[in-house]
């Protein structure tokens, strides 16, 4: 299974990618997680990516494509979350997959009104150890500040501030929305209504990928 999750920031694509990856037992490759790890470990990639991420801007294509290329060459099945985010990244992904002799099965586009997405982002909590995602209101952990899955500390991402969120939406509209059209033209796109409960969306997605 080779699947891409698309959607605006706060659409729940990370949450759904995590759920599906666990259910079907294949790796979730999140470029956001990979980049945050690189920043934390202060690698060369992390030092280059940091300033873009804090502003809510996209990290340059060549850096992100390099990261994804390395990961995909190690996996036969995967769920990509947060990549591609530009048409150029989508074209690069096609090239990489062609070189590996494989293709995408589906691109799941989670649709949500932008106002709902902003509310979700401002209450989002992320695990510092395993990257599990929570929400103070819609998906709270059993114990405040502690991850249900691994017991790690939960934190609020530095780009989940009002200023960075606004910028991330602008970036999404200008640079990522054209990717939807890219996959529509290639008959890979499946739209999913993201304005429902986590469980309802997960059930829908599981059905979609099993047919």
Query: Do residues 102 and 2 touch, judged by C-beta distance below 8 A?
Result: yes
CA angle 174, 159, 51 (to 5 degrees): 80
Per-residue binding string, ligand AMP, 150-189, x by CB under 6 A, is ---------x--------x---------------------
- Segment contacting ligand AMP (CB under 6 A): 55-63, 92-100, 107-115, 144-152? 55-63
Buried b (16+ CB within 10 A) or exposed e, 56-78: bbbbebebbbebbeebbeeeeeb
Question: Which residues are catalytic, by number?
Answer: 13, 85, 124, 157, 168
The nearer residue to ligand AMP, 41 or 211, going by C-beta atoms, is: 41
Q: State the nearest-atom distance from the C-beta of 23 to ligand AMP, in Å.
A: 21
Per-residue binding string, ligand AMP, 91-130, x by CB under 6 A, is ----------------------------------------
- Segment contacting ligand AMP (CB under 6 A): 20-28, 31-39, 71-79, 94-102? 31-39
- Segment contacting ligand AMP (CB under 6 A): 54-62, 95-103, 130-138, 178-186? 54-62
Query: Do residues 3 and 211 touch, judged by C-beta distance below 8 A?
Result: no
Buried b (16+ CB within 10 A) or exposed e, 116-150: ebbebbebbbbbeeebbbbbeeebebeeeeebeee
Q: How many CA atoms lie within 13 A of 109 on its CB side?
A: 18
**Under rule CB under 6 A, residue 8 binds ligand AMP:** no
Residues that bind ligand AMP (CB under 6 A): 9, 31-32, 35, 52-53, 56-59, 64, 82-83, 85, 89, 159, 168
């Amino acid at each position: 299974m080779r699947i891409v999750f698309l959607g605006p920031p706060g659409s729940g694509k990370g949450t759904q990618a995590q759920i599906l990856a666990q259910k079907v037992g294949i790796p979730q490759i999140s470029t956001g997680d990979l980049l945050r790890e690189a920043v934390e470990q202060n690698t060369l990639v992390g030092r280059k990516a940091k300033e873009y991420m804090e502003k809510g801007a996209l990290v340059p294509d060549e850096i992100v494509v390099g990261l994804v290329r390395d990961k995909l060459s190690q996996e036969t099945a995967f769920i990509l979350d947060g990549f591609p985010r530009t048409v150029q990244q989508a074209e690069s992904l096609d090239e990489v997959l062609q070189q590996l002799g494989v293709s995408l099965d589906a691109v799941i586009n989670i649709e949500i009104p932008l106002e709902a997405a902003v509310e979700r982002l401002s209450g989002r909590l992320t695990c510092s150890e395993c990257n599990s995602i929570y929400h103070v209101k819609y998906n709270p952990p059993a114990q405040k500040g502690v991850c249900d899955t691994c017991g790690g500390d939960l934190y609020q991402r530095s780009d989940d501030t009002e200023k960075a969120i606004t910028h991330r939406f602008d970036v999404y509209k200008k640079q990522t929305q054209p990717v939807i059209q890219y996959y529509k033209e290639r008959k890979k796109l499946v739209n999913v209504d993201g304005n429902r409960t986590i469980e309802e969306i997960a059930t829908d997605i599981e059905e979609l990928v099993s047919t």
